[in-house]
Structure 1
Amino acid sequence: MIDLDTLLSQAADPNYKTFHSRLVPGVALRGVRTPALERIARDLAKQYGKQALDTLSPSDYEKTVIYGMLVAYVPLAFNDRLAYLETWLAHNDNWASNDLVCARQTWMRKHKADLVPFLNAWMESGDPWKQRFVYTTLLSHYKQSDDLPVIFELLRHPYVCSYYTQMGLAWLLCELLLRAPESIEPWLVQGRFDAFTTQKAFQKAIESKRLPETSRNRYRSLKKQIQPA
């Protein structure tokens, strides 16, 4: 039997709990640092494999993160992995677990075409956290130039104007300003996205050291022209 509660209790750090609670307000935390969650997830994947996913449930923050990590670490067929990921997505409700879990799904890089229908479905769900998961998936795993058509098609979907969804989108738009400015700049200037998200995308690009000063100055000017709704 997997006694995950004991493992988490042994790894909990009260000081980290206080700090992390400020970053993820309203989420029940035990205060387990990410490296410890990583270690527990890898140990469970090695010792129990698929049984760990069948036994555990993504309830509180730490258990949700571990379940999501197990989706990445346990050897699974594509369809099984997607099924467990869907279970995890039903419990995805904060930026921290979303981003930690998403970044570890490196298996996605071998199944980009197969994932497109699921990415479309998650966008069409209207769920703000599933939509953030799509944006962070594109940021983390669709990094090649031939991924751009898929990204732009997904950007055509309506999105929820919820802070963490908008911020995930802004990060993605900023990355596109670095990778494909000639394609994404017209969308931003023409008001394809809401004013808050567009300004955040320009701001993140302005702060990037990967852009020449001439580009950052242009984005400063464009950012000023965006009128809030």
Structure 2
Amino acid sequence: MYKEIREILFSLEDEEYKKFQSSLCPNVNNIIGVRLPYLRKMAKQLAKGEWKTYINSARDDYFEEVMLQGMVLGYVKADVNERLNYIANFIHKIDNWSVCDSFCVGLKFTKFNMEKVLAFIEYYLKSKEEFEVRFGIVMLIDYYINEEYIDKVIILLDSINHEGYYAKMGVAWAVSMCYVKFPKKTMKYLNNNSLDNFTYNKVLQKIRESLKVSKEAKDNIRSMKREY
């Protein structure tokens, strides 16, 4: 089955998009160059059919092959425990931010299984693997920065301790989103946190870049930068 999928992917190859995607993922050297709308269309079709056969036989030689598997898992209809088992197997394949973030945004079943999925992702926040940690962080961003979970999210983000660039940038992105939605709670956290200097300053930078933060607030945030 993977041969048919690969043939379809190469038939959709777009050289200009390949250059664009490669510029966003400089360390990824196996990109075919298939635009995301085509991948999503393929994923929806596969999810309606014998998706387990596809997932179990899928190859990981190309960026799009891995991306497609993740998208399919977002569209399938399955029991939550079964789906989480497939997700756990897939997470080990993530080796770049693009696959990670696209995968997470498709896991909308989370909205109906908040506590169960939160318990599932907490394990990955403690991982030694950079993109496993980022998976957990992006899941928090996509589904848990809300009134019910904001306090828990801040505690979880402060507990993350990973030296990987994409893990640190994920934390910075997440904390900045917490600030946009819950400025008072997040400001209290920014005044007393365990973030390393790089991540902390990246949080401030991302807050300043937000179009949803006032100029006055940005000026105050700018004054909080750590010198190191």
Tell whether the structures are fold-level matches, with TM greater than 0.5.
yes
* Equivalent AA in structure 1 for residue 10 of structure 2: S
Give TM-score scaled by structure 2 length: 0.92
Partner Cα separation in structure 2 for residue 50 and residue 147 of structure 1: 33
2:125–2:137 contact (8 Å) kept in structure 1? no
2:114 aligns with 112
Amino acid aligned to 1:192:
S
Amino acid at match of 2:160: P
Which residues of structure 2 form unaligned runs of 5+?
none
Structural RMSD (CA)? 1.6
- Hey, what does 2:154 align to over in structure 1? 152
Number of the residue aligned with 1:227: 227
Superposition map of 1:44-193 within 5 A? 44-193=46-195
Counterpart check, 1:38 vs 2:40: yes
2:134 partner SS? helix
Q: Where does structure 1 lack aligned partners over 5 or more consecutive residues? A: none
Aligned-pair CA distance for 1:191: 4.6
For the structure 1 residues 96 and 117, does the alpha-carbon distance in structure 2 shift closer, same or farther, using more than 3 Å as the test?
same
Moved more, 8-17 or 148-157: 148-157
> Residues of 2 paired with 1:4 and 1:51: CA distance?
13
Residues 122, 134 of structure 1: 8 Å contact kept: yes
The letter of the residue matching 1:124 is K
- Give the CA deviation at 1:187: 3.1
Contact in 1 for aligned 2:157/2:175 (Cα 8 Å)? no
Deviations 1:53-98 (CA, angstroms, capped at 9, x unpaired): 2232444210111110111111111111111111111011101111
Hey, what's the Cα distance between the residues in 2 that align with 1:60 and 1:189?
44
Letter in 2 for 1:212: S
One-letter code of the match for 1:109?
A: K
Shift of 1:167: 1.0
Bigger drift between 86-95 and 109-118 goes to 109-118
Cα distance in 1 for residues equivalent to 2:158 and 2:222? 25
Residues 97 and 166 in structure 2, CA contact (< 8 A), matched pair in contact too: yes
Contact 1:58 1:67 in 2 (8 A): no
How many residue pairs align between the two structures?
Answer: 226
Partner in structure 2 of residue 19 of structure 1: 20
Is the deviation greater in 65-74 or in 190-199?
190-199
Deviating 4+ runs (over 4 angstroms): none
* Preserved contact between residue 10 and residue 32 of structure 2 (Cα < 8 Å): yes
AA matched with 2:227: Q
Q: Which amino acid aligns with 1:131?
A: V
In the alignment, does 2:5 pair up with 1:4?
Answer: yes
Matches of 2:62 and 2:89, distance apart in 1: 14
> Aligned AA for 1:227?
E
